[in-house]
Amino acid sequence: MKFKAIKLYEENGKRISRMIEQTIDDLAPGDVVIQSQYAAVNYKDARAVTGVGKVLSNLPAVPGVEVAGLVVESSNDQFKVGDVVTVQGGREFGMRRDGAYSEYVRVPGSWVAHVPEDTDPFESVAMGLAAYTSALAVDELLLRGVKPEHGPILVTGATGGSSSFAIDMLAGLGYRVVASTGKKDTEAAYLKSIGAAEVIGRDEIAGGDKSLEEQRWAGAIDAVGGKPLDDVLRSTKQRGVVCAFGNAAGETFSTSIYPFILRAVSLVGINGNHPVPTRGGVWQRMQKGGDLRPKHIHQIAYTIAFDDLKSHCDKLISSGVRGRAVVQF
């Protein structure tokens, strides 16, 4: 049996992805074979497919870090043929070895989790790494005592997949959410529909260039890094908490010491690259009935065809897209 996969090659110093045909024998090692139903499109997946940066190593290899589907072969006690499962392999699957963009995948059982019976596999992948990472950030704000009465929470890169889920969860917990976006003219209505109370432009975060600006944010969830992260820190309130997990605006940033030593602002790094079976309490709280369950999954996430994945990734990298695309196989 032959089936389709996207594979990334290195040729003449350039990274190029192609839709190819392969067989089960071509798949990476593992004890569970899954027929793919849905695969997420994260920022890093789009970088991998378009050959931007070095997200994926050990080429040629299949990109894509998250998939859900049906078990079709298993020598692992925990999974049997017909089980509906999801896979996220930390920093291995789709990063150091073949990943999700293939109609069949083979993986170690330690990366596989059952999709709960009351959950649609689409919803599991639609939330996936994006919502889980945002949930970790929201949980940090809760753990560090940031309460709705302390003031607004800023979310940057607001129309992105992860940030859209952060807005949804924060609003659901009663916070006043201010969404910062490069698409204020076209996407304000979308951002308000998923929970933002106010929408501002990327250049409206700090209001000036001083090392400390007006105290505006009780907390922030930053998906972009770079200059906007400096703007966020300079305009965060006394004892405010800034959770950072992204690099869409830059991998480095510079800031002054003053937000930290004069306002006791905390900068907290968030890493969501945990295989689903190790995600623990926060992932559980995102399931139906939990306090971190997003309310607008079907507004934020939508399906695209496998054949349209490459053009979608080009668009995501060049101009940004709204919400979170999920490949339907």
Chain residues that interact with ligand NAP, rule: CB under 6 A: 42-44, 129-130, 133, 157-162, 181-183, 202, 223-224, 228, 245-249, 270-273, 316, 320
- Return the number of the residue (76 or 273) whose C-beta is nearest ligand NAP: 273
3-class DSSP assignment, residue 295:
coil
- Return the number of the residue (70 or 320) whose C-beta is nearest ligand NAP: 320
**Residue at shortest CB range from ligand NAP:** 160
> In the bound complex, what is the minimum distance in angstroms from residue 127's beta carbon to ligand NAP?
12
- Return the number of the residue (35 or 273) whose C-beta is nearest ligand NAP: 273
> In the bound complex, what is the minimum distance in angstroms from residue 181's beta carbon to ligand NAP?
3
State the Cα–Cα distance between residues 33 and 105, nearest whole angstrom: 6
In degrees, to the nearest 5, what angle opens at C-alpha 92 toward C-alphas 28 and 291? 120
Query: Are 222 and 229 spatial neighbours (Cβ–Cβ below 8 Å)?
Result: yes
Looking at 42-127, which runs of residues are DSSP E strands? 66-74, 84-88, 104-107, 112-114
> In the bound complex, what is the minimum distance in angstroms from residue 131's beta carbon to ligand NAP?
10
> In the bound complex, what is the minimum distance in angstroms from residue 4's beta carbon to ligand NAP?
24
Report the candidate in 225, 232, 85 with the shortest Cα–Cα distance to residue 152. 232
Report the candidate in 48, 104, 20, 49 with the shortest Cα–Cα distance to residue 310. 49
- Return the number of the residue (71 or 129) whose C-beta is nearest ligand NAP: 129
State the Cα–Cα distance between residues 75 and 78, nearest whole angstrom: 9
> In the bound complex, what is the minimum distance in angstroms from residue 221's beta carbon to ligand NAP?
10
- Return the number of the residue (11 or 203) whose C-beta is nearest ligand NAP: 203
Residue with tokens 């975060």: 205
